[in-house]
Amino acid sequence: MDILQQFLIPFLDVELFLLVAAGTFAGIFIGAIPGLSVTMAVALLLPLTYSWEMLPALALMLGVYFGGVFGGSRAAILVNIPGAPSNVATSLDGYPLTQRGEARTALTLTTIFSFIGGLFGVIVLATAAPLVSTIAIQFGQIDYFLLAILGLLLIGSLSQGSVAKGIFAAGAGIILGLVGMDSIGGGTRFTFGSLQLMNGIDFVVAILGLFGMAEILYQLKTLNEKGQTITLKKMIVPPLRLVFKFLPLSLRVNVMGVLIGALPGAGGEIAALLSYDHAKRTVKKPNRPFGQGAYAGVIAPEAGNSSAIGGALIPLLTLGIPGDAVTAIFIGALFIHGLQPGPLLMEQSGDLFWVMVGSSVLANVFLLIFGLLIVSIFIRVVTVPKQILLPIIAVITVIGAYAMNNNMTDVYWLLGFGLVGFFMKVHNFSVAPLVLGLILGPLIDESFRRAYMAAQGTPEFLMGFVNSPISLILTLALVFTLFSQTTWYERFKRKLKER
């Protein structure tokens, strides 16, 4: 009974109710603006916790968190600029949907499935947090390595032109991700003696350049061509029918999203990419091929990254370990108020846990309401003439890149990545594998080396792939994924059908 009362506090307390609403609303717009990240927004709210009571500050921060992750998909769908790395996969089918005049359907579907995903994550947080955190804490370095390699196998899904070019782009992304100080050995890699490269390359800047600036340059060609204006179609298929159709897919990627979100260091971006890949492998008859505006291609990544939020809150509240950058700020907020996040938090301040769960549910409800209500506002972006839209996006991407670390070096990187992205598009290199490499490269490098160093020689390292249940499952998944990309698998499937 106590639990229910605590859970309902955000719904019944007018101040908390309005703060969650305001946070979610602001978060949606912040997330939609390239360069303004959820982490930045939540970090800016941290000082509030000094002067505010704990619960109002947390309610506002949670609203911004859920709204911000969702908001990033708006820009990915409408203008092909992912608001955050976790929205990269959404742009692969979201933008083609906009180009086909189906932006309204894409925005509506992603809103509904983000709500379902977010709610699923919170339900798992409320009911199975200790179990999920037990699994997450058992993940060793070799498991992280296997997980990242599994993610890297998405290249096959993401590079729909030439696979060789896709692998090359992913390799280039990995190398770019390794630029700077070697966190294990202490030396420098690929810095060419430049001090400015010592801190490495921020992958958000790379995304702004490869997607934003490159898209601006690429769109110039279509500027004066007739018939290039996007006409908005009405939603032909009732969204409710699609919601029921894609619910099983959504639930599968939600489970994946929560588990990946719960892993420290593996957040919404990996969850979204793996969810996209899962959709591509399991949806037998998409409405159109993936990459050309498949509904499942926008639903899966958004459902995955939304459920990852609940997952990221699990290790924070049960173990005191942040699941991602935003939850690390939440730890700061709890510390400021003298609370110790970790196993004792639920025993000593169980009320706080349930108020956070209640605020998260409320944030998702507001996300659904605002998300659906403001579709018609967002959609107007598409109807703005490109002569006006492209220069404004250029200013936002430049200022957004500068805002990441308040320095002009990131802006120069933006310009460089913009040019590289443009030529990649012109010469049929998919941009997505490069971003995939940038995100996963450092994780693969570090986890591989740490796992190797922890093992007593190569034989023990190799045994590590099979000597724990998690490693074994991941190794088998890896082998299966590799096998499924060969012609033998196709022949095997055909034989099974013939029988």
Pick left, alpha or beta for residue 234 (phi over 0 → left; psi -120 to 50 → alpha; otherwise beta). beta
Q: Binding pattern to other proteins, positions 26-55, x when CB under 8 A?
A: -------x--x---xx--x-----------
Of 138-177, binders to other proteins (CB under 8 A) are 159-162, 164-165, 167-168, 171-172, 174-175
CA 251 to chain centre: 17
Among 3, 131, 198, 223, binds other proteins (CB under 8 A): 223
Q: Which two tokens stand for residue 443?
A: 């994780």
| Under 8 Å between Cβ of 155 and 440 | no
Of 278-307, binders to other proteins (CB under 8 A) are 289, 291-293
Q: Could you give the CA distance from residue 1 to residue 18 in angstroms, rounded to a whole number?
A: 25
| Under 8 Å between Cβ of 64 and 44 | no
Q: Does 422 bind other proteins (CB under 8 A)?
A: yes
Please identify, among the stretches 121-129, 209-217, 242-250, 251-259, the one whose residues bind other proteins according to the rule CB under 8 A: 209-217
Task: Work out the angle between the directed axes of helices 38-45 and 325-336 (0-180°, nearest 10).
Answer: 10
161 versus 469: smaller Cβ distance to other proteins? 161
Please identify, among the stretches 66-74, 197-205, 405-413, 482-490, the one whose residues bind other proteins according to the rule CB under 8 A: 405-413
Which CB contacts under 8 angstroms, 24+ apart, belong to 466-475? 468/138, 468/140, 468/143, 470/135, 470/138, 470/139, 470/140, 470/143, 471/140, 471/142, 471/143, 471/146, 474/143, 474/146, 474/147, 474/150, 475/146
198 versus 344: smaller Cβ distance to other proteins? 198
| Under 8 Å between Cβ of 234 and 263 | no
Among 453, 463, 472, 479, binds other proteins (CB under 8 A): 453
17 versus 452: smaller Cβ distance to other proteins? 452
H or E element in which residue 181 lies? strand 180-181
Among 458, 459, 497, 498, binds other proteins (CB under 8 A): 458
Of 177-206, binders to other proteins (CB under 8 A) are 178, 182, 184-185, 187, 189-190
Of 385-404, binders to other proteins (CB under 8 A) are 385-388, 390-392, 394-396, 398-399, 402-403
Which CB contacts under 8 angstroms, 24+ apart, belong to 386-390? 386/219, 386/222, 386/223, 387/223, 389/79, 390/216, 390/219, 390/220, 390/223
Please identify, among the stretches 247-255, 256-264, 302-310, 445-453, the one whose residues bind other proteins according to the rule CB under 8 A: 445-453
240 versus 388: smaller Cβ distance to other proteins? 388
In whole angstroms, how close is the CB of 419 to other proteins at the nearest point? Answer: 7
Q: Does 419 bind other proteins (CB under 8 A)?
A: yes
Among 452, 468, 470, 481, binds other proteins (CB under 8 A): 452
* Paired strand residues for 188: 181
CA 359 to chain centre: 21
Of 89-108, binders to other proteins (CB under 8 A) are 92-93, 95-96, 99
